[in-house]
């Protein structure tokens, strides 16, 4: 959606609410400015928001201690994901039984201990390569624009200071992070991230078969529609696609 349309929508909303007692019109116009900003977030904006959202997420999750079994495993996993197109990679483990992993545009990579408990190092590496692919291919930037738009809209009755990227509150950053972590990507984006992971693993001379078995395990979790990945296509189909690439040697 173009910035001009976003501003028009915010202005219309402000006009609609003008007769309501206690409505903060300055806040409404600030939201319009914020919505317009979301449509044109620069790479620097996305990095700044990612820095803040990741830091807020780290505050609310228990991080595996340096030197712990999980941290040592992750360090080993990341050696097979070098020389990606994702800058300043900073990988950590969250101590939770949830099965998940994600990456943000600032290099923040997080994997949950629940996922590591059910997967081998090769499988974890394949999953993280996929998440890093979303960043490298620009999918995460688009997801940030959507998430920031939603956060800006929810803050429509707030003060004018909330229109600035750097002025998001802790609760807004938490909401932004949750939207990014739970972002749903299109079929083409998911497939592209799968292939990115395969290519990155190949470039690092790491096992690609782990990407296949990771999908197979996720398929068993919920009938091929893991909450970790978009169900379009399902995990089984994606495992088959990677296996076909392995068989072809490309």
- Residues forming the active site: 131
> DSSP letters along 7-28, please?
HHHHHHHHHHTTTSTT--HHHH
CB under 8 Å to 247, separation ≥6 — which residues?
none
Token code pair at residue 79: 């050696």
User: Are 137 and 197 in contact, with CB atoms under 8 Å apart?
Assistant: no
* Encoded tokens for 235: 């995990």
Burial letters 79-102, b for 16+ CB under 10 A, else e: ebbeebebeebebbbbeeeebbbb
Which position has the token pair 């820095």?
A: 51
H runs (alpha helix) in the chain: 3-16, 25-39, 43-59, 69-78, 113-118, 121-136, 139-154, 170-181, 187-203, 209-222, 235-248
Burial class from Cβ neighbours inside 10 Å (0-12, 13-18, 19+) for residue 50 reads buried
Using an 8 Å Cβ cutoff, are 156 and 172 in contact?
A: no
């Amino acid at each position: 959606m173009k910035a001009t349309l976003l501003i028009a929508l915010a202005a219309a909303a402000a006009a609609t609410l003008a007769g309501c007692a206690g409505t903060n019109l300055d806040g409404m116009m600030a939201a319009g400015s914020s919505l317009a900003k979301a449509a044109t977030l620069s790479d620097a904006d996305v990095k700044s928001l990612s820095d803040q959202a990741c830091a807020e997420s780290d505050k609310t999750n228990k991080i595996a201690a340096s030197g712990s079994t999980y941290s040592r495993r992750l360090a080993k996993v990341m050696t097979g994901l070098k020389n990606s197109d994702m800058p300043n990679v900073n990988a950590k483990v969250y101590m939770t039984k949830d099965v998940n992993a994600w990456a943000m545009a600032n290099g923040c990579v997080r994997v949950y201990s629940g996922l590591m408990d059910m997967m081998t190092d090769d499988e974890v590496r394949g999953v993280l390569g996929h998440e890093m692919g979303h960043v490298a291919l620009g999918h995460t930037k688009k997801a940030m624009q959507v998430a920031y738009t939603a956060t800006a809209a929810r803050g429509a009755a707030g003060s004018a200071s909330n229109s600035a990227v750097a002025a998001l509150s802790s609760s807004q950053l938490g909401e932004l992070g949750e939207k990014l972590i739970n972002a749903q990507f299109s079929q083409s984006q998911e497939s592209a991230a799968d292939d990115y992971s395969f290519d990155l693993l190949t470039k690092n001379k790491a096992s690609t078969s782990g990407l296949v078995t990771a999908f197979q395990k996720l398929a068993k979790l919920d009938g091929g529609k893991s909450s970790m990945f978009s169900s379009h296509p399902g995990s089984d189909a994606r495992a088959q696609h990677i296996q076909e690439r392995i068989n072809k040697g490309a």
